[in-house]
Chains A and B, each alone.
Chain A
Amino acid sequence: MGRVAVFLCHCGTNIAGVIDIQRVAEEIRKISGVAIVQDSRFLCSTDGIESMVDSIRSSGVDRVVVAACSFRTHEPLFQNALRRAGLNPYLLELVNVRELCSWVHEKEREKATEKAVKMIRAAIAKIQGNQPLERRKLPVIPAALVIGGGIAGIRAALDIADAGFTVYLVEKEPSIGGNMARLDKTFPTLDCSICILGPLMNAVAQHPNIKLLTYSEVLSIEGRVGEFSIKILRKPRYVREDLCKGCLICIAKCPAKADDEFNMGLSHRKAIYIQYPQAVPRIPAIDPSTCFYFQKGICRACEKLCPTGAIDFSQRGEVVEVKVGAIVVATGFEEYTASQIYEYGYGRYPNVITGLQLERLVSSYGPTGGRLTVPRIDREPRRIAIVNCAGSRDERHLPYCCRVGCMASLKHAWYIKHLIPDAEVFIFADEIRASGKGFEEFYRRVRLLPGVYIVKGRASEVRGNPDGTVSVMAYDPALGHGISINTDLVVLEVGIVASRSTESVRNILKLGVVAQGGFLLELHPKLNPIETAVDGIYICGAVAGPKDIPETVAQASAAASKVVSLLSRGYIETQPYTARVNSELCSGCRICVTACEYGAIRIVEKGGRSVASVDEALCKGCGACVGSCPSRAIEIPNLGLDQIEAMIAEIVR
């Protein structure tokens, strides 16, 4: 049985004003195993602590009970005192006789004193079962994985790499750049999008610390924060990256045709292609589903033309394994399926397009080289309708606001007026949400353009006319009746959802998602928008919720800062209260494995039997496993069942 020192704090009159400290001390001294009982006016004061340390040393006790205030206020202070006195800091029991006794039973001094005695007796009974505990230090691999090569992934990768750590940037497309590369200009400054993105993409390609893995996908992730093992599939481009010089002669003569996904289906590309001229890396890829050689066994024109012999039809996919200490998920967004909104006619009429499709049409490296024409009809539109909130803020589709649509609609109106000065633009919106820096000013600027009209009502329907025009109907509150406007082109500002690759990534990582939109779930919506429920995995950018570029970049840098903080510390400390398995009692039933939300328990072979084993780095000490074990084989040290039993018995004695 251990020798216990008991320290009683008066806390001025906070405790002593209600509880008779001397009586308590008298009762506690009677208990066997209690070596000394000492009271003090303010235990947390320098004097109080010094005297505590001295008493511990001189009395030769091996465990300490302190009756004072909340563990939240001074537990670390008292734990430190034990350390200084040469004791393990977890051989301490802090009894809260202030918040849980003196403060709440002010009128019943007699009973409060009695209760305090019982609480302290219970703590003494409990502490007999305490063991010394340690926080282990586990190493952190000084490398990070960033999944997603859009602006979020690029920014995060650059920040982490600049801090001196290795970054593996994995992107599923042949080029990095993401959705931002599709935009012509960015609001509200009207910067050319690729002009500001391009230098960052190049910086990524040239950064000595960044290993760029494009046309690749994450297959599996194992491990824990500080040590993740990741398998990445590098899909075959059928072009040798070490030989290709990026001259692109191979593309010119390819006879095959496929839908150009980068241009949102508005044009065709070849079977061998780069996504856009500024692609990084500037190495083409061959799409086997449309390539004449792969499909029919003929052609091979690219191979014949390539001056360095870089085409290699025998290339295979390769699985690489990397080990990192932290992971950043930045897989971005995509547009909601506009054809789901039946009444807007997307897919039924060729002159109804989405916002991103408009961006491609006006882009100088888009399907029309920057000429704004109605797709398939190839006529310059004179009157264009922009329909805001298409699918957003709508219970039938996406209940949330897409956050960028209003500003995008203003930018699109500007594009149209800039390219076709005589055009008339009608924006249909409930209101224009312009909350960021410079946004309201941009709204004013666009609103004042001649020929730009904003109808303060959502478009109800788009219907086609025999002459190929489409009419947009809405209720205009300014006029007090419904209107129908005949237009040549309708641009739908469609809502946005998390990109489809997010689903497989989140399954691999076991992250939570928001039901509507599929966005990844952060640890806390207000105070922790970057961390997730899994330690060491961070999210940033549009995959965490709709947002514009400045917010995305801010979050990317935030994620990078958290990663750098983790990697530069170089180690993680396990928390001391990790569950322990008594393999004698464990039957290997696996109930605890399922009960653990953090995946901290595995079944291992031990002495010829299957028993549970806890990974200290993952265990959070919540006790869910303890509650579930039918054999009482797993317990949290210093919170054992027999200790609780002892407390219960003491209180009723």
Chain B
Amino acid sequence: MIPVSLEPRVIAFTCTYCAYAAAETAGVSKLQYPPHIYIIRLPCSGMFRSYYVFKALYNGFDSVLWGGCHPPYDCHFINGNYKARVRAALLKSYLNQLGFEDDRFRLEWIAAGEADRFASIAKEIVKKATSLPRLRFLDNSEVVSEWL
């Protein structure tokens, strides 16, 4: 049984050159946001696969944020952000069909200089996650575990 705690948990997958840089700059600028958000650094938002999102939600995260560079030109790897956008759009519609609320997954473009934006998105996403019900998976069902 996955333990249920009272506080929301949010995971943010960020791209090294933009979203993660913004997160670090937020730190340097001492902007404050709630501690319930964990940041994982990937080279590029183009590494997006729905697996990461599903895995996070299944393991107990309430909400997933995917951060990348602003289209059209900011992506350090040319157009990884476009790849993320397309795949995220597919995922979003699929998540809706599966019954997940809209706030469970969010794709955001955060430029390296937008530290305050990162902080405000972090605050917002944690706040929204607080109002979301805890996800309950049929974790003792073999079918569900195998699929994920």
Q: Do the two chains touch directly in the complex (Cβ atoms below 8 Å apart)?
A: yes
Enumerate chain A interface residues (CB-CB to B < 8 A): 70-72, 96, 98-101, 103-108, 111-112, 114-115, 118-119, 122, 533, 577, 595, 597, 620-624, 626-628, 632, 636, 639, 641, 644-645, 647-649, 651-652
Question: By the criterion CB–CB under 8 Å, are B59 and A649 in contact?
Answer: yes
Q: Which residues of B contact A623 (CB under 8 A)?
A: 42-44, 46-47, 80
Other-chain residue from A98, A107, A645 in contact with B27 (beta carbon distance below 8 A): A98
Question: By the criterion CB–CB under 8 Å, are B39 and A100 in contact?
Answer: yes
Q: In the complex the two chains form, what is the Cα distance from A626 to B48 in whole Å?
A: 8
Question: By the criterion CB–CB under 8 Å, are A651 and B9 in contact?
Answer: yes
Q: Which residues of B contact A122 (CB under 8 A)?
A: 38
Q: Which residues of A contact B32 (CB under 8 A)?
A: 104-107
Q: In the complex the two chains form, what is the Cα distance from A98 to B23 in whole Å?
A: 11
Other-chain residue from A103, A111, A577, A644 in contact with B30 (beta carbon distance below 8 A): A103
Q: In the complex the two chains form, what is the Cα distance from A103 to B24 in whole Å?
A: 10
Question: By the criterion CB–CB under 8 Å, are B43 and A577 in contact?
Answer: yes
CB distance from B42 to the nearest CB of A (A): 6
Query: Can you name the residue of chain B whose Cβ is closest to the Cβ of A652?
Result: B60
CB contact under 8 A between A648 and B83, given known A70-B24, A533-B78 = no
Question: By the criterion CB–CB under 8 Å, are A624 and B47 in contact?
Answer: yes
Q: Which residues of A contact B83 (CB under 8 A)?
A: 595, 624, 627-628
In this assembly, does B129 line the interface, its C-beta being within 8 Å of a C-beta of chain A?
Answer: no
CB distance from A60 to the nearest CB of B (A): 29
Q: Which residues of A contact B30 (CB under 8 A)?
A: 103-104, 106
In this assembly, does B94 line the interface, its C-beta being within 8 Å of a C-beta of chain A?
Answer: no
- Mask for B22-35, Cβ within 8 A of A = 1, else 0? 01101110111111
In this assembly, does B111 line the interface, its C-beta being within 8 Å of a C-beta of chain A?
Answer: no
Query: Can you name the residue of chain B whose Cβ is closest to the Cβ of A105?
Result: B35
Stretch at the interface among B49-57, B102-110, B137-145: B49-57
In this assembly, does B79 line the interface, its C-beta being within 8 Å of a C-beta of chain A?
Answer: yes
CB contact under 8 A between A103 and B2, given known A622-B80, A648-B59 = no
Q: Which residues of B contact A104 (CB under 8 A)?
A: 26-27, 30-33, 35, 119
Question: By the criterion CB–CB under 8 Å, are B38 and A624 in contact?
Answer: no
In this assembly, does B77 line the interface, its C-beta being within 8 Å of a C-beta of chain A?
Answer: yes
CB distance from A117 to the nearest CB of B (A): 12
Q: Which 8 A-B pairs have the closest CB atoms?
A: A99-B27, A623-B47, A622-B77, A652-B60, A624-B46, A622-B44, A103-B27, A99-B24
Chain B interface size range: 35 or more
CB contact under 8 A between A100 and B47, given known A111-B35, A112-B35, A624-B77 = no
Question: By the criterion CB–CB under 8 Å, are A622 and B47 in contact?
Answer: yes
Query: Can you name the residue of chain A whose Cβ is closest to the Cβ of B77?
Result: A622
Q: Which residues of A contact B31 (CB under 8 A)?
A: 104
Query: Can you name the residue of chain A whose Cβ is closest to the Cβ of B32?
Result: A104
A–B Cβ pairs within 8 angstroms, 16 of them = A96-B24, A98-B27, A99-B28, A103-B28, A104-B30, A104-B119, A105-B34, A107-B32, A108-B35, A623-B42, A623-B47, A624-B80, A627-B83, A627-B84, A627-B87, A652-B61
Q: Which residues of B contact A621 (CB under 8 A)?
A: 43
In this assembly, does B11 line the interface, its C-beta being within 8 Å of a C-beta of chain A?
Answer: yes
CB distance from B120 to the nearest CB of A (A): 13
Question: Apart from A106-B30, A645-B55, what are 12 other A-B pairs with CB-CB below 8 Å?
Answer: A100-B24, A101-B35, A104-B35, A108-B34, A114-B35, A118-B38, A533-B78, A620-B77, A624-B80, A627-B46, A627-B84, A627-B87
CB distance from A487 to the nearest CB of B (A): 45
Question: By the criterion CB–CB under 8 Å, are A652 and B59 in contact?
Answer: yes
Question: By the criterion CB–CB under 8 Å, are A627 and B49 in contact?
Answer: yes
CB distance from A595 to the nearest CB of B (A): 7
Q: In the complex the two chains form, what is the Cα distance from A577 to B42 in whole Å?
A: 12
Q: Which residues of B contact A645 (CB under 8 A)?
A: 55
In this assembly, does B40 line the interface, its C-beta being within 8 Å of a C-beta of chain A?
Answer: yes
Most buried by A among B39, B49, B76: B49
Query: Can you name the residue of chain A whose Cβ is closest to the Cβ of B84?
Result: A627
Q: Which residues of A contact B49 (CB under 8 A)?
A: 626-627
Q: In the complex the two chains form, what is the Cα distance from A106 to B79 in whole Å?
A: 36
Q: In the complex the two chains form, what is the Cα distance from A103 to B115 in whole Å?
A: 13
CB contact under 8 A between A648 and B56, given known A115-B35, A627-B47 = yes
Question: By the criterion CB–CB under 8 Å, are A597 and B77 in contact?
Answer: yes
Most buried by A among B31, B51, B119: B51
Other-chain residue from B26, B43, B119 in contact with A636 (beta carbon distance below 8 A): B43
Q: In the complex the two chains form, what is the Cα distance from A349 to B97 in whole Å?
A: 68
CB distance from A598 to the nearest CB of B (A): 8
CB contact under 8 A between A115 and B27, given known A627-B87, A652-B61 = no
Q: Which residues of A contact B79 (CB under 8 A)?
A: 597
Question: By the criterion CB–CB under 8 Å, are A648 and B24 in contact?
Answer: no
Q: Which residues of A contact B11 (CB under 8 A)?
A: 648, 651
CB distance from A552 to the nearest CB of B (A): 25
Q: In the complex the two chains form, what is the Cα distance from A649 to B77 in whole Å?
A: 29
Most buried by A among B27, B52, B56: B27
Q: Which residues of A contact B34 (CB under 8 A)?
A: 105, 108
Q: In the complex the two chains form, what is the Cα distance from A644 to B39 in whole Å?
A: 12
Other-chain residue from A111, A119, A595, A639 in contact with B43 (beta carbon distance below 8 A): A639
Q: Which residues of B contact A100 (CB under 8 A)?
A: 23-24, 27, 39
Q: In the complex the two chains form, what is the Cα distance from A108 to B33 in whole Å?
A: 10
Q: In the complex the two chains form, what is the Cα distance from A486 to B119 in whole Å?
A: 66
CB distance from B15 to the nearest CB of A (A): 9
CB distance from B141 to the nearest CB of A (A): 19
Question: By the criterion CB–CB under 8 Å, are B51 and A652 in contact?
Answer: no
Query: Can you name the residue of chain A whose Cβ is closest to the Cβ of B41?
Result: A71
Q: Which residues of B contact A595 (CB under 8 A)?
A: 46, 83
- Mask for B55-73, Cβ within 8 A of A = 1, else 0? 1100111000000000000
CB distance from B144 to the nearest CB of A (A): 16
Q: In the complex the two chains form, what is the Cα distance from A115 to B39 in whole Å?
A: 11
Q: Which residues of B contact A107 (CB under 8 A)?
A: 32
Q: In the complex the two chains form, what is the Cα distance from A266 to B24 in whole Å?
A: 63
Q: Which residues of B contact A533 (CB under 8 A)?
A: 78
CB distance from B45 to the nearest CB of A (A): 9
Q: In the complex the two chains form, what is the Cα distance from A647 to B13 in whole Å?
A: 12
Question: By the criterion CB–CB under 8 Å, are A651 and B78 in contact?
Answer: no
Question: By the criterion CB–CB under 8 Å, are A119 and B46 in contact?
Answer: no
Q: Which residues of B contact A636 (CB under 8 A)?
A: 43
CB distance from A16 to the nearest CB of B (A): 16
Query: Can you name the residue of chain A whose Cβ is closest to the Cβ of B23?
Result: A100
Query: Can you name the residue of chain A whose Cβ is closest to the Cβ of B30?
Result: A103
Question: By the criterion CB–CB under 8 Å, are B48 and A627 in contact?
Answer: yes
